[in-house]
Amino acid sequence: MLAQQIINGLTIGSIYALIAMGLALIYGILRIVHVAHAAVYVVGAYAGLYTYLTTHSFILAVLTSMVSASLVGILIELLIYLPLIKHSPLISLIASIGAFISIEEAVRLIFGPYIKSFPSTLFSGEIHLSHIVISYAQMVVLSISLLSIILIWITTEKTRFGMALKAVSQDVDLAEITSLDSKKLIFLAFAFGSAFAGLAGLLVGSYYNSIYPSMGDVPAYKSLAIIVVGGMSNIWGAFWAAIFIGLLETISIGVFNIPLPRDSLAFIFMIIMLLFKPEGIMELFKGLKG
Amino acid sequence: MSGYIITLLITIGIYIILSLSLNILVGYSGQVSLGHAAFWAIGAYSFAILTTRYSVGFIEASMLSVLITTFVGIILGLPSLRLSEDFLVITTIGINFIVEGIFNTFNYFGGAMGIGNIPFPTINGHMISNQVFALIVYTAVVLTIIISYLFKLSWSGLACSAIKDDELAADVSGVSVVKFKMIAFALSSALAGLSGILYASFMGFISAADFSFPVSVTILAMVMVGGEGTIIGPIFGAALLVLLPELFRPIHDYRMLLYGLLIVLMMRFQPDGFFGRKGIVWSLLKRY
């Protein structure tokens, strides 16, 4: 029972991680609470689904969902955030919520309000390991997110682009002095972060086998709780927080039957964290090491 | 006046109180809350439970509900005191989700079924007409405007605006940041509670979904579109954002799309709101 819930929790946690890491990356650079990130996720899911339905290739679906999500992310950045950069972040936040509402509504008007699903032949079947059941869908989700997280790790930690991003997120002015083009970097960061949000949309869609216009509502706000737990602009904090909250949700509901609404658990945990460790989950690890 | 117009006026009045109450937090003391619907909900639910479960009278229940909302507001405000802008926004979103979840889950609060049969005010055993109710609502609106105005001019209001401008500087000058933030939180939730009472009584039925997160977004949008920190701004914003969906009714399918786009465009081209410092209204007035 517990082992099964751990597998389920890891699956959902790794999808949360894909959304939250991009959000933390964008927050680190622009200091904007990018709620419309979840709209990017919905667009990615729809783009992937329709590509799969026409080409029957899951790899192509993954690619189109990532590309279309980056495009939407870039458009949001160019049309809304950049012009508002001198105003208080609150104004960008409200504009972001407005953008989220209108993109979701546009998706609903174009593709219809009903739940759409993949053909049933995609990832049917499961493996039994003594008591644990792992479905093919779970394996696909786990392996793709593992690959993506390795890719994010290499990009942010090992490349010049990643170093430049770190520099800009620490101090924009100083980075500009050392001849970094911060506009271009913000642009690339949006493309990069949004691509993985789009991928997460496709993965959630194929895992639950349902895609619908309002699927972004819950991730939109839960991912905010996750990045707070992770320490706001800390990408790896967001990763650990996402995995932890995925496990917390599935275990407390699945094993202990806690009578609280599932989607508010992340926020309850967030408030507890804010009271005791407002610096984020990574400080907790440092405490363990020390 | 037709019943439709009266209903619309009452709704606008209830939202004016609500947006003015949020304005005390956002506009006067610089604490941004995206969970204001939670405080509205607490007012409405305490009134509904007091009247339906414990058959407390209308006026007593109203007073108690305002007290309860203020008290809960202070408690929920406590974790927010140490938080800076973005953390505060996200925490208040969390408070909204948690409060809505609790009302939606536990049977004491009616669960998913909500609470019905909430009493409408009566005189000598007769239910008052909607016109009289509108009068009550607008009396409350006037009261809220007076309270907002007095608060802005009061010592606490001045301290809050110092905190809003520069928290560190205010702290160094001997302004007790915690105390005045708390006062703003308490006053704001008291007024939100007042609005919740009127809402619950007017609707006769409430459920957790009436106070969900999108409502908080709408309330904050009312304050921002009108212009935070002013009194006319939130009044105008509330009237505008209640009327817009009504005007969009013939194009029902595109309603939310237009609503979202309007918020984006508004923030993009009028970031201070219509009545804010750099808003379109003052600049037009100055020209003539």
Looking at residue B127, its amino acid is M
Residue located via tokens 């109203």? B62
Instruction: Check residue A133 and give its pLDDT.
Output: 82
Instruction: Check residue A289 and give its pLDDT.
Output: 55
pLDDT at B199 exceeding the cut of 90? yes
- Closest CA–CA distance from residue B124 to any residue of chain A (Å): 43
Alpha carbons A258 and B189: distance in angstroms, whole number? 30
Alpha carbons A201 and A62: distance in angstroms, whole number? 10
Residue of B262, B260, B228 lying closest to A97 (CA atoms): B260
Distances (CA, A) of B97 to A39, B169, B223: 19, 34, 21
Best probe of the B interface among A267, A269, A272, by most B CBs < 10 A, is A267
Looking at residue A128, its amino acid is H
- Closest CA–CA distance from residue A261 to any residue of chain B (Å): 6
Q: Give the model confidence (pLDDT) of B39-58 as tens digits.
A: 999 999 999 999 988 888 88
Q: What is the average pLDDT across B81-88?
A: 78
Alpha carbons A74 and A68: distance in angstroms, whole number? 10
Contact B217, A97 (CB under 8 A): yes
Q: Residue A78 has what DSSP assignment?
A: I
Interface A-B: count of C-beta contacts within 8 A: 119
Inter-chain contact B86–A99, Cβ cutoff 8 Å?
no
Determine whether B200 is exposed, middle or buried from the number of CB atoms within 10 Å of its CB (0-12, 13-18, 19+). Answer: buried
**Beta-bridge partner residues of B122:** B127
Q: Give the model confidence (pLDDT) of B151-169 as tens digits.
A: 999 988 888 888 888 888 8
Instruction: Check residue A122 and give its pLDDT.
Output: 67
Q: Where are the beta strands (DSSP E) in A85-200?
A: 126-129, 132-135
Closest residue of A to B86, CA-based? A33
Closest residue of A to B263, CA-based? A98
Distance linking the first and last C-alpha atoms of chain A: 34
CB of B267 less than 8 A from some CB of A = yes
B128-139 as b/e: b if 16+ CB within 10 A: eebeebbebbbe
Given A105, A109, A268, which is nearest B98 (Cβ)?
Answer: A268
Q: Please, how many CA atoms are within 13 Å of residue B190, restricted to the half-sphere of its CB?
A: 17
Closest residue of B to A27, CA-based? B86
Residue of B280, B264, B262 lying closest to B272 (CA atoms): B280
What are A219's two structure tokens? 């991730």
Could you please report the per-residue DSSP string of B186-208?
A: HHHHHHHHHHHHHHHHHHS-B-G
Alpha carbons B102 and B285: distance in angstroms, whole number? 48
Inter-chain contact A105–B32, Cβ cutoff 8 Å?
no
Inter-chain contact A224–B93, Cβ cutoff 8 Å?
yes
pLDDT at B85 exceeding the cut of 90? no
Closest residue of A to B219, CA-based? A94
Angle at A53 between CA A51 and CA A55, to 5 degrees: 60
Given B85, B102, B253, which is nearest A89 (Cβ)?
Answer: B85
Inter-chain contact B32–A90, Cβ cutoff 8 Å?
yes
* Residue B243: count of CB within 10 angstroms of its CB: 13
Contact A94, B224 (CB under 8 A): yes
Instruction: Check residue B116 and give its pLDDT.
Output: 84
pLDDT at B28 exceeding the cut of 70? yes
Instruction: Check residue A186 and give its pLDDT.
Output: 87
Alpha carbons B54 and B67: distance in angstroms, whole number? 17
Residue of A32, A58, A45 lying closest to A144 (CA atoms): A58
Looking at residue A96, its amino acid is S
Residue of B73, B235, B219 lying closest to B148 (CA atoms): B235
Q: Residue B128 has what DSSP assignment?
A: P
Contact B61, B198 (CB under 8 A): no
Q: What is the average pLDDT across B272-283?
A: 78
Instruction: Check residue B1 and give its pLDDT.
Output: 64
B277 phi and psi, to 5 degrees? Answer: -55, -45
- Closest CA–CA distance from residue A121 to any residue of chain B (Å): 34
Length of chain A counted residue by residue: 290
Give percent above pLDDT 70 in chain B: 100
Closest residue of A to B99, CA-based? A264
Contact B280, B274 (CB under 8 A): yes
Q: What is the average pLDDT across B118-146?
A: 87
Residues of A with Cβ-Cβ distance to B211 under 8 angstroms: none
CB of B3 less than 8 A from some CB of A = no
Given A91, A103, A274, which is nearest B91 (Cβ)?
Answer: A274
- Closest CA–CA distance from residue A29 to any residue of chain B (Å): 14
Angle at A146 between CA A216 and CA A203, to 5 degrees: 30
Angle at B104 between CA B99 and CA B105, to 5 degrees: 100
> What crossing angle do the helices spanning B85-105 and B213-226 adopt, rounded to 10°?
140
Inter-chain contact A80–B268, Cβ cutoff 8 Å?
yes
Residue of B239, B231, B200, B159 lying closest to B66 (CA atoms): B200
Inter-chain contact B93–A221, Cβ cutoff 8 Å?
yes
CB of B256 less than 8 A from some CB of A = yes
Closest residue of B to A81, CA-based? B268
Determine whether B165 is exposed, middle or buried from the number of CB atoms within 10 Å of its CB (0-12, 13-18, 19+). Answer: exposed
ipTM, two decimals? 0.83
Given B32, B93, B268, which is nearest A84 (Cβ)?
Answer: B268
Residues of A with Cβ-Cβ distance to B266 under 8 angstroms: 98
CB of B108 less than 8 A from some CB of A = no
- At A269, is the secondary structure helix, strand, or coil? helix
Q: Which residues of chain A have pLDDT under 70?
A: 120-122, 287-290
Q: Give the model confidence (pLDDT) of A179-223 as tens digits.
A: 777 788 888 899 999 999 999 999 999 888 889 998 988 888 899
- At A236, is the secondary structure helix, strand, or coil? helix
* Residue A257: count of CB within 10 angstroms of its CB: 7
Residues of B with Cβ-Cβ distance to A231 under 8 angstroms: none
Inter-chain contact A259–B105, Cβ cutoff 8 Å?
yes
CB of B209 less than 8 A from some CB of A = no
Residue located via tokens 């990069």? A192
Closest residue of A to B112, CA-based? A261
Question: How much is the pTM?
Answer: 0.87
Contact A197, A19 (CB under 8 A): yes
